[in-house]
Amino acid sequence: LVNLGVSFVSLVLVMVYLGGMLVVFVYSVLLVADPYPEAWASCGVVGYSFGIGLVVVVGLATGGVLGLLVDEGTVNNGGLLSIQSDSSGVALLYSEGVGLLLIGG
């Protein structure tokens, strides 16, 4: 990339690579350095799992996936969140753009 004249992109790629390696190194060091690892049935792990599950359920309920706060069956949903649930673009991509999808694949 440097020979092609795009030295900034090559520096960005090197920084991304080094950042990824740093994350793997730090994770490995922290995994080895833990003298008392948590068991699956300990109170901390069970409480953390319950809290994450509660956050996911509340997020799904407020996002309208469970159908509690958002009116289903309309193109522009109302309720707490105003989401446009139009999926004709995906259908058009698969019906009209099948040649480009095959070439891309």
Side chain identity, residue 49 = S
pLDDT in tens, 27-58: 888 888 777 777 777 888 889 899 999 988 88
Tell whether 8 is covered by a domain: yes
pLDDT in tens, 11-27: 888 899 999 999 999 98
Tell whether 32 is covered by a domain: yes
* pTM of the model as a whole: 0.34
Tell whether 95 is covered by a domain: no
* Distance from C-alpha of 20 to C-alpha of 70, rounded to nearest angstrom: 40
Tell whether 55 is covered by a domain: no
* Distance from C-alpha of 84 to C-alpha of 71, rounded to nearest angstrom: 12
Tell whether 19 is covered by a domain: yes
